[in-house]
Chain A
Amino acid sequence: MLSRLLIALLLCLSVPMAYGEGIVPTHEFHLSRCHINYNVAEEALQMTLHLFLDDLEDAMLREGIDIQFLCTEKEKEDAEKQLYRYLQMHFQLRVNQQAVTYEFVGKEVSDDLLGVWVYLEVKEVDQVSALTISNRLILDLHADQRNITSVLVPPGKQTYLILDRYKSQESLNYAQ
């Protein structure tokens, strides 16, 4: 009985202890997400990426890009241009064996303020029979960084890729 009381006491104490610490939002996972969707009606490849801001800034710094204070009040004037430059270095697509250039559509901060959503688009893609994705974003920073990439090219099924340091590129075939 005494031991159960002790455990109950420990648990009750733990909540104020935890709050006393002051809640600093953190993320301990080295993850990024990327969703690639072929929009048949608009003939465009549309991409949504989620990157944690602290990792992103560190990774950009490694490439010699100064801290941009992305998605904060201090954000530098050409921050989006620098971000786009970093993306182009580490995130590449080949459509039907041809390297393509995507446009930077926009970005917004995620609602927990820890990450940024980035929107990219490749226009004038009339069909996709093969797609090669190279996603090396942030991989140089943490050995356990994983870039979860999902690809949807209708009418094909959704494909999931876990890209990491050991395998950062994958080719998908949609030929009939």
Chain B
Amino acid sequence: MDSLFTTYLQLGFEHISDPKAYDHIVFLVALCAIYRPQEWKRVLLLVTAFTIGHSLTLLLAVLDIIRFPGSVIELLIPITILATAFYNVSQPAERGPQAMRWNYAFALFFGFIHGMGFSNYLRALLMPGEEGQLWLQLLAFNLGIELGQIMIVACVLLLAGLAFGLLRVKAAAWNQFVSGAAAGIALTLLLQQWT
């Protein structure tokens, strides 16, 4: 027995962290593959840029201003993973503020695409006669997604810290390993769409 807020919070959290719908998880993993645990503030900003992006398209879709066909988004999401992975391995090891601005911009832009994916889910949840509560539903759902995202990137940074500290993995090797794995998964997802 729950209120609207906690229900939508739970649905948002579970939607992003659902291991069966792992495309968003893989994107977040790719997004933070180039960062060391001590750069957690940058990662937090990056995730926030991603959230601003997906909140915007989510809002537009739920207000019925734009509709996004599910099959197109299913293709676009693996492409955002692939693009992020390629970007990661083509980056110099040291990042200045200029490069970070680019990274935030990409995260924001990719957020638009993932928001379209979230919107199809949220649209499948909304009931008629609840229009007055739409903002609360959106807020709770987005907050749930944000909490899920923070949990996922925290896990990745923790794993990176363990790899660096215990296994003496080099940061560049870690990036290539994680980005390569993400790209492989993205390619598989793309191929599934075609076959």
A-side residues, CB < 8 A to B, are 2-4, 6-7, 10-11, 14-15, 17-19, 21-29, 31, 33, 35, 37, 48, 50, 144, 148, 150, 157-162, 170, 172
CB of A123, distance to nearest CB on chain B (Å): 20
Task: Provide 11 A-B residue pairs closer than 8 Å at the C-beta atoms, listed in order of the A residue.
Answer: A2-B90, A10-B83, A14-B75, A18-B72, A19-B72, A22-B71, A26-B74, A28-B21, A28-B70, A150-B4, A150-B130
Q: Which of B121-129, B151-159, B165-173 contacts A (4 or more CB under 8 A)?
A: B121-129
CB of B93, distance to nearest CB on chain A (Å): 14
A3 and B127: CB pair below 8 A? Answer: no
Chain A residue with Cβ nearest B67 = A112
Selected from A21, A27, A29, the residue in CB contact (under 8 A) with B75 is A21
A160 and B4: CB pair below 8 A? Answer: yes
Residue B82, interface by CB 8 Å? yes
B70 and A27: CB pair below 8 A? Answer: yes
B79 and A172: CB pair below 8 A? Answer: no
B71 and A157: CB pair below 8 A? Answer: no
CB of A95, distance to nearest CB on chain B (Å): 17
A21 and B71: CB pair below 8 A? Answer: yes
CB of A85, distance to nearest CB on chain B (Å): 25
Residue B65, interface by CB 8 Å? no
Residues of B contacting A31 in the complex (Cβ-Cβ under 8 angstroms) = 124-125
Total A-B residue contacts, Cβ distance less than 8 Å:
96
B86 and A6: CB pair below 8 A? Answer: yes
B2 and A27: CB pair below 8 A? Answer: no
Selected from B72, B90, B127, B193, the residue in CB contact (under 8 A) with A33 is B127
Chain A residue with Cβ nearest B2 = A160
B127 and A48: CB pair below 8 A? Answer: yes
- Looking at A22, A29, A157, the one whose CB has the most chain B CB atoms below 10 A away is A29
Residues of A contacting B83 in the complex (Cβ-Cβ under 8 angstroms) = 7, 10-11
Residue B10, interface by CB 8 Å? yes
B71 and A23: CB pair below 8 A? Answer: yes
Residues of A contacting B194 in the complex (Cβ-Cβ under 8 angstroms) = 21
- Cα–Cα distance between A6 and B90 once the two chains are bound (Å): 10
A7 and B127: CB pair below 8 A? Answer: no
B1 and A170: CB pair below 8 A? Answer: yes
Chain A residue with Cβ nearest B69 = A23
Residues of A contacting B6 in the complex (Cβ-Cβ under 8 angstroms) = 160
